[in-house]
Amino acid sequence: MATTTATTQATAPLTDGAHYLVAALLKNGIDKMYGVVGIPVTDFARIAQAEGIRYIGMRHEADAGNAAAAQGFLTGKPGVFLTVSAPGFLNGLAPLKEATENGFPVIMISGESSRSTVDLYEGQYEGLDQRAYAVPFCKASYRIDNMEDIPLGVARAIRTACSGRPGGVYISMPDTMIGQTMNAAAAEAALYAVNDPALAMIPSQESVDAALQLLANAKNPLIFLGKGAAYAQCDEEIQSFVHKTGIPYQPMSMAKGLLPDDDPQSTASCRGLAMRTADVVLLIGARLNWMLNFGKGKHWNQDVKFIQIDIDPTEIDNSRYIECPVIGDIKSTMKLFNEGLSKYDIHASKEWIDLLAQDTAKNNARFGAKTQEETQPLNHYNALGAVKKVMDKNHDVILVNEGANTLDDCRDIVDMYLPRHRLDCGTWGVMGVGTGYAIGAAVTTGKSVLSIHGDSAFGFDGMEVETACRFNLPITFMVLNNGGIYRGDFEDLGKSGDPSPLTLDATAHYEKMIEAFGGTGYFATTMDEVESMLTEALASKKPCFINVQLSVHAGVESGHISDLNPIPVVGPLSHSECVDLNEEVVDGKLVQTQAK
């Protein structure tokens, strides 16, 4: 810990709030921080860097929050991000809430303007009662008013972020506290590291036996692996249970790769049929939220029974009756499940496995053809088919993915082979998380990252391309440009000549952005170009950008979730009204003409 040298011989060395907070973070193994500096946290970030924390200065607080969230998901330890007071703080609330919804451990630290003037609404610079504002957006919101409380505040934040269902925690750091001083030796002596912030939570043996008995009674048992299962970092226990029982499984998007996607027990290609015909479903770290149709309705077998393994007891019965709740951490629980296997005869019926295999073969043949058929211009299927070929040879590349069709089709087409190698829009289906996730993943792991965005999604957080270049991170950004939100051929309903509310620039050369910052840009218009450029970009381990030209007609409105669109009772046009355009790629450029 750095100390301020006393002016007189008699005075003991002092430390200040900023140095002490850095020391407390380091004591707890927090050695990275993402953020955007300004008053009153500029010196805090400089001190953090000087004392050994890797500080990643970013361009927007939301992206810094997402980078920290990616780190939290990948490591199981809190990612930390830093913001200035009021406006920077408010920008950080969205990723803080997103991380909390996703169950990723994150700590947001913000500087806060002097409390005495804020509380009397005297009109302080960037004055806001931040601790109170943060409350609904995270698991807990703390303010450290006295520097003596820093070890306690940091410990509270780490334990809250990591224990139970992980999530976001806020720490407010008033400017008055940053400037406080105390005896350096006393401060050092009071530092401590949190003792096991995510203690094992062992489920009751009764609940484990009840679950195994229900599985043994099933004819068509199905396992759902969610991102909680990936987060739990007990890959072998889960793989062993799936393989020993032979039960078909369905990976949620961020659980892809927990078992390799080409595993014969995967039901990824026959999801609908598996859900409609399963009689017992074992949920491992997956919630019955909108993504699983709340566990009810036409998508599910009406008589299905659920076993749910979760660390959070309040998740049980969230949207329907659960026959067998198992409350515990997934690692401890899977250990008991595996140990109990010798007592029960658990397997899926041969008829059902055959039925799923037939459906898988049929769907793979139909879908696979679309990913291999060249068109001009390209569409999502064949562009991502080319990406799949490269990723099949580069299993250890981390994939970040956001967009509508770009997300849905990439999840279906690009196979994952290793756990925790896929990050995407998550529980809220958020756009604008991608570049932050990519930076967090690259900084945390040092591995190559492929960050695939729709052109609309990329618009939210594209400026972080500069951060990737400044830190020389091994990230390849890829935009699939179909010229709009969902697609680029919607009509100007006002007949004003203005673009439609969904339209963006179909001919934009997004790849030029990275060239402005010293990275390498590529423009791809064919499947071969996508494949060769991506191969070269990943091999370079340097910041690269591949702009892939798609047809403006590629994609469907709202991707796979168009049923969530409310249908207007009165309205001028249906959702799908499109402009009739002819288009071709000439000399590497998209050329459009109005069709007759």
**Structure tokens, 104:** 């990723």
| Comparison of 61 and 402: residue with beta carbon closer to Mg ion | 402
What 3-state DSSP class applies to 313? helix
Minimum Å gap between C-beta 559 and Mg ion is: 10
- Closest approach of Cβ 332 to ligand ADP, in Å? 8
310 binds, among Mg ion, ligand ADP, none (CB under 5 to 8 A by kind): ligand ADP
Q: Which of residues 230 and 548 has its CB atom nearest to ligand ADP in the complex?
A: 230
- Pick between residue 268 and residue 386 the one whose CB is nearest to ligand ADP: 268
Query: Binding segment for Mg ion among 44-52, 86-94, 255-263, 481-489 (CB under 5 A)?
Result: 481-489
CA–CA distances in Å: residue 58 to residues 3, 37, 74, 293, 541: 29, 9, 20, 37, 20
Pick from 172, 186, 199, 198: which is nearest to 23 by CA?
186
Do residues 397 and 538 make contact, with C-beta atoms less than 8 angstroms apart?
A: yes
489 contributes a contact to Mg ion by CB under 5 A:
no
482 near Mg ion, judged by CB under 5 A: yes
CB of 104 to ligand ADP, least distance (A): 9
Name the residue among 438, 415, 434, 418 with its Cα closest to residue 426: 434
What is the rounded (10 degree) CA torsion for 274, 276, 277, 279? 100
Instruction: Give the interface with ligand ADP as residue ranges (CB under 6 A).
Output: 102-103, 165, 226-228, 231-232, 252, 254-255, 285-287, 289, 291, 310-312, 315, 329-330, 427
Which does residue 454 bind out of ligand ADP, Mg ion, none, counting CB within 5 to 8 angstroms by kind? Mg ion
Tokens 């009406």 map to which residue?
A: 302
- Which residue lies nearer to Mg ion by CB, 80 or 506? 506
Per CB under 5 A, contacts with Mg ion among 140-169 are none
In this complex, which beta carbon is closest to Mg ion, that of residue 207 or of residue 482?
A: 482
The distance of closest approach from Cβ of residue 558 to Mg ion in the complex, given in angstroms and rounded to an integer, is: 12
Binding segment toward Mg ion, per CB under 5 A, in 130-138, 185-193, 475-483, 568-576: 475-483
Residues 6+ apart with CB under 8 A from 245: 215, 221, 341, 346, 347, 348
Instruction: Select the binding partner of residue 232 from Mg ion, ligand ADP, none (C-beta < 5 to 8 A, by kind).
Output: ligand ADP
The CA distance from 2 to 14, in Å, is 9
Residue nearest ligand ADP (C-beta atom): 228
Residue that the structure tokens 């489920």 belong to: 203
Give the helix/strand (H/E) hosting 211: helix 205-217
Facing residues of 282 across strands? Answer: 223, 307
- Partner in contact with 161, chosen from ligand ADP, Mg ion, none, beta carbon below 5 to 8 Å by kind: none
Q: Between 15 and 482, whose beta carbon lies closer to Mg ion? A: 482
Distance CA 299, CA 461 (A): 35
379: contact with Mg ion by CB under 5 A: no
Residue ranges in contact with Mg ion by CB under 5 A: 454-456, 482
